[in-house]
Amino acid sequence: MATGLTKRYGMTLAVDDIDFAVPPGQTVGLLGGNGAGKTTTIAMLLGLLIPTAGNIRILGHDMARDRFAALARMNFSSPYVALPQRLSVAENLRVYAHLYDVPHTGRRIAELAAELDLTDLLDRPAGQLSAGQKTRVALAKSLINRPAVLLLDEPTASLDPDTGDWVRSWLERYRAESGCTILLASHNMAEVERLCSHVLVMKRGRIVDRGSPAELLARYGRDDLEEVFLDIARDRVRETVT
Amino acid sequence: MIRPMIRQSARRIWGLLYRHLVLYRRSWPRLLELAYWPTLTILIWGFTASFFASRVGSTAAVLSGMLLGGVLLWEITLRSQMGVAISFLEEVWSRNLGHVFVSPLRPWELLAALVAISVVRMLIGVLPAVLLAWVLYTYNLFALGPVLILFALNLMAMGWWVSLGVVSLILRHGAGAEALAWSVLFALTPFSAVYYPVSVLPAAVRPLALALPAAHVFEGLRALLEHGTIAWGHMAWACGLNAAWLGAAALLFMAQFRAARERGALLTMGE
C-alpha cells in the first residue's frame, strides 16, 4: 500500500502524490507511457529509491524503517537490470538463492529450471542466451525465494509474440497456483488486459484513472485498453483523478 | 533469534563471495592477472636490490630487506584496495546492482563480502611474489616473525578504507570514477614511507605521511630490520589511525549510499 507517494528530482516531479493498494493474490497493472513514473514507482516500492514524501507498507512492513524484512519475501524482474553475464544460469540462481536464504538450493533450482524450461541451459553463461531465454532466467531469479509479492517491470519487453505469450501464460498460471501478489508495470495493453484484475493508469507521475480492465473499457466506451491508453495519452478525455 | 540472523547474514555474504569465486575458478587469465603486477614488481625491485647489495657492502642485507619487505608489504595494501574497488565495479559493469540491492542484503554485508573477496584476491596476488622473493633473492618475508601479522592486518585495513572512499565516489559519480580504483593508492605511495623513512620527506608533508597508517607500519618494519625491535608506538598509531579512517570511510559510504538511493543511481549505474 502506498500513500502520498512522491518523488521529485530537482524541479522535476517524477511521481506526484499517488495512493494505491494492491489486493493480496491479485495482479495489478501499472499502465503508462514512457516517463509516466512506472519504473520510479516500482523502484520506490523496492527500496532502491527513497521517496521525497509518502509512505509504503508491504506485507505489513514500513519500507522506510524495515525494508529488509519485506524484501526477503519480495522479488523483482526487469529486462533493464541484468544478471552477471559470465556466470552460468545455475551459478546466477545459486547466488540469489544464497542472498534470499533459500533452503535446498539445488532442488529449488531444478524445480524452477523444469517449470521455466531452463534445464538444458543451466550450464550456459547468462551472456550467451537469447532475449527470450534471458527473460525466463530473470523470471527464475525473481521466483527463487517463492515471493509473496512480485514486481515485474515490462517482463515481455523486446520478446517476440510467441515468447511473450508463453511468459504471459506462465505468469497467469503461476499467480493462480501460488497466490502471489503481482504488480506489473507495462505499456503492453494486451498484456495488462489479459493478466490484471485491476489497473492503475499513470501519466506525468500521477494516477489519472484506475479500475478493472472492464470498468476502464466501459468508462471510455472503447473496445480495448490500447484505445483507452491513447485517449488518456492524447488528452482526448478530461483527466479524472480517482 | 540472533543465531538465525547471523547464519542468514553469513549466507548472504557467502552468496556474493561465491559470485566472484566462480569467475576465478573458471578463468585462469583472471588468476594470472591478479599475480601479474606483484610478480613483475618484485622482479624489478629484487634485481635492483641485488645490484645495490653488490655495491653497498655490509649494510646491504638490511637495505635489501627494507626494500623487498617494503615492496611485498605495500602490495598487500594495493591488492586489498583494488580487491574491494574492482569487485564492486564488477557489479556496476554487469548492471547487477539493482538485483543485489532489492535482495535482503544489508549494505554492511556487501562491504563484508567485498572485504572477503579482497583477501582472496590479495593472497592470490601476493603469495607468488613472496615465494619468488624467497627463491630468487633468498628473502623470506615470514622471517619478520609474528609481527608480520600486525603489519599485514594494518596494511589491508588501509587498503579497505581507501577503497571504501573509492566506492563512495563511484556511488556519487558513477562508473566515471572507476579510474580511481587503479590509481588512488599510487598517489599515496610517496607519502606512505614505503621505501624511505618519513624524515626524508620535506617537513611540510610529514604530517600527511604520519596521518597514513602505512607510514607507521613501514617505520616499524625498518626499526625491526635495523634494530631488531618492534616499534610498538608506531604499531599503536597505525591501529588507531586505521580505526579512525575506517570509521570515517564507513560514514562516507553510508552517506553516499543513501544519496544514491535518493537519486535513483542504484538502478541506472553502469548503463
In this structure, the answer to whether residues A226 and A151 fall within a common structural domain is yes
Between A190 and A141, the more confident residue is A141
Residues A105 and A23 in one domain: no
- What's the pLDDT score for residue A242? 46
Domain shared by A233 and A155, yes or no: yes
- pLDDT (0 to 100) of residue A163: 83
**CB-based contact A48 B8, cutoff 8 Å:** no
Indicate if A202 and A95 belong to the same structural domain: no
In this predicted structure, the answer to whether residue A237 has a pLDDT above a threshold of 70 is: no
Q: Are residues A242 and A156 in the same domain?
A: yes
Are A214 and A155 in a shared domain? Answer: yes
**Residues B126, B75: Cα–Cα separation, whole Å:** 7
Contact B267 A39 (CB under 8 A): yes
- Chain B contact present for A82, CB below 8 A: yes
Q: Last residue of a domain, which of A94, A114, A146? A: A146
Give the range of the structural domain holding residue A92, as residue numbers without chain letter.
82-146
Inter-chain CB pairs, A–B, below 8 Å: 93
> Do A141 and A101 fall within a single domain?
yes
| Domains in chain A, number | 2
Q: Are residues A125 and A220 in the same domain?
A: no
Are A95 and A69 contained in the same domain? no
CATH number, domain containing residue A224 = 3.40.50.300
B77-105 pLDDT, tens digit each: 999 999 999 999 988 888 888 889 999 99
Q: Are the C-beta atoms of residues B83 and B118 closer than 8 Å to each other?
A: yes
Q: Indicate whether A54 and A137 sit together in one domain.
A: no
Q: Are residues A100 and A67 in the same domain?
A: no
Nearest to B95 among A39, A81, A96 (CB): A81
* Nearest one of A146, A29, A134 to A79, comparing CA atoms: A134
CA end-to-end distance (rounded Å), chain B: 40
The mean pLDDT value of chain A amounts to 90
Among A108, A128, A146, which residue terminates a domain? A146
Residues in B touching A9 (Cβ below 8 Å): 263-264
Quick check: ipTM above 0.90?
no
Smallest CA–CA distance, residue B223 to chain A, in Å, is: 46
Q: How far apart are CA A183 and CA A176, in angstroms?
A: 14
How many helices and strands, by DSSP H and E, does chain B display? Answer: 11, 0
Query: Which of B6, B21, B22, B102 has the highest number of chain A CBs within 10 A, making it the mutation to test binding with A?
Result: B102
Inspect the interface and report whether the beta carbons of B267 and A50 lie closer than 8 Å.
Answer: no
- pLDDT tens digits for range B222-238: 999 999 999 999 999 99
User: B178 phi and psi, to 5 degrees?
Assistant: -70, -25
Q: What is the pLDDT of residues A60-99, one digit of tens each?
A: 999 999 999 999 999 999 887 788 999 999 999 999 999 9
Contact between B94 and B270 under an 8 Å Cβ cutoff? The reply is yes
Q: Do B102 and A75 touch (CB under 8 A)?
A: yes
Residue A14: phi, psi to the nearest 5?
Answer: -80, -40
Last residue of a domain, one of A146, A163, A191: A146
Same domain, A172 and A231: yes
Q: Give pLDDT, residue B188.
A: 94
Chain B CA closest to residue A138: B99
Please list, in sequence order, all residues whose beta carbon lies within 8 angstroms of the beta carbon of residue B72, skipping any fewer than 6 positions away: B38, B42, B126, B129, B130, B133, B141
- Chain B residues closer than 8 Å to A72 by CB: 104
